[in-house]
Amino acid sequence: MQQNEIAKRLGVSSTPVREAFGILQAEGLLVLRPHRGVTVAQSRPVRFEEAVAIYEIRHVIEKLSLRRIIEGQESDLLRELAYVIETGQEAYQSKDFVKFRYSLSEFHRVLSKGTGSALLSTAISPLNAQAQFFATGLDHDGLRHSHQAHVAILEALLEGDLGGVLQLEDEHFRQNVQRLEDANLEG
């Protein structure tokens, strides 16, 4: 589909559509075909090692964020994380699983802001998008477990328990890797 066609359908200029396409292309979600428009990127088999590497990078950045949040007493960021958790809980209770999945992704996006580095937050965005693809196979129970891990991480953050929060982050990472193993990705 052409960007002008989408802009017309949305009732906006082509500039925000072009910018959105650029972001989605950078995240590997769209493929630009000159003079033919854009298409959604075709999923390709993901190797287990590739998927784990994405989670490992995100894990390292999130541990940095968690340390900086506790050290800096980032109350605005804590409120934003609490709001994301609350929104996710409401979505789960109302069985709006699309919104619930979004809240899980949003938790990681907001958490990455804790690094205090716009560069790192921007760099991790495509990794979060790719990690969402891996999570699409999770059933509602798996999604609920991820949400519970996020709740526990937030509670430890609010208590200022650095050791506890890092331990919870490590456990969340291990659970994510276990889910990848259970998904039988190509080796």
Does pLDDT of 44 surpass 60?
Answer: no
Give the C-alpha separation, 35 to 109, whole Å: 33
Sign of CA dihedral 89, 91, 93, 96: negative
Cβ proximity of 102 and 56 under 8 Å: no
Which pLDDT score, from 0 to 100, does residue 90 have? 95
User: Residues of CATH 1.20.120.530 domain(s) within the chain?
Assistant: 48-182
Of 187 and 151, the structure prediction assigns the larger pLDDT to 151
Does pLDDT of 1 surpass 70?
Answer: no
Which pLDDT score, from 0 to 100, does residue 79 have? 94
In this predicted structure, which of 31-40, 47-56, 76-85 has the lowest mean pLDDT?
31-40
Element (H, E) at 160: none
Topology given in CATH for the domain delimited by 48-182: Four Helix Bundle (Hemerythrin (Met), subunit A) (1.20.120)
Which pLDDT score, from 0 to 100, does residue 93 have? 92
Mean pLDDT of 113-121: 86
Read off the pTM. 0.75
